[in-house]
Amino acid sequence: MRSSLLLPLGMALAGLVACGPKAPKTIPVTSTPTKNAPSWIDNEEIPDGLAAVGIAQPNPMNDKSMQRTVAIGDARTKLAGKLKVRVQNMFSQLNQQVTTATADASKKPIKTDVMNRVIENVTRQLVDQELAGTSTRAFWTDPADGNLYVFVVMTKDTMDRALAGAANAQIKKEIAQGEKSLEHALDKLDAAIAASATPFN
């Protein structure tokens, strides 16, 4: 009698072991569930400049050229946002340096509204002129859903030259319009650009 009860119990325990906890699912390397996706999809930071990843879904006409254009446009829009942050960082450094250099009572620091205007104008100029010169380092199409990913880059050297030129021109324009508090800014522009570049190091 006892053995007849033990047999079903043993089979039940064996079944529980067999149906025990399943092995954890493998977490994909990137946000796309497709295996072997490039790592830059989730890690777009590069040591030598600014980069952004653009995405475009397949279009009804299956026009690959249009999909490529949309993906590049998406990446450039994201890159423009990062570029504005870089410009803001540079002018924050510049404002600190100029304020320190002109700390005596006879010279006023740069006014906030002037600084904001310069930041907006420099950013607009860089976005309009320089983003067209960005390079695409890589493309990747997700075989699971057809989404196209593009990796767009602006190198640090190119960006710094453009940033210096645009800032220099805008500061001179403000000085010509009477903003004398910016007179010391041109001397400190290179140092401000270098100081704002610390995220690239």
Residue 74 has pLDDT above 90, yes or no: yes
Contact 158, 48 (CB under 8 A): no
pTM as predicted: 0.72
The per-residue pLDDT for range 143-172, each reduced to its tens digit, is 999 999 999 999 888 888 888 999 999 999
Q: What percent of the chain has pLDDT over 90?
A: 29
d(CA 113, CA 179): 11
Total domains in the chain come to 1
The 10 Å CB-count burial string (b at 16+, else e) for 31-54 is: ebebeebbebbeebebeebbbbbb
The per-residue pLDDT for range 98-113, each reduced to its tens digit, is 777 665 545 566 788 8
CATH code, 129: 3.10.129
**Does residue 117 lie in a domain region?**
yes
**Does residue 145 lie in a domain region?**
yes
Tokens of 45: 């930071």
Q: Quick one: angle between helices 185-196 and 64-101, nearest 10?
A: 130
- Residue 6 vs residue 181, higher pLDDT: 181
Within 8 A by CB and 6+ apart from 183, the residues are 175
For 113, counting Cβ atoms within 10 Å of its Cβ (0-12 exposed, 13-18 middle, 19+ buried), the class is exposed
Structural domain range at position 102: 40-200
**Does residue 142 lie in a domain region?**
yes
- Residue among 120, 97, 124 at smallest CA distance from 181: 97
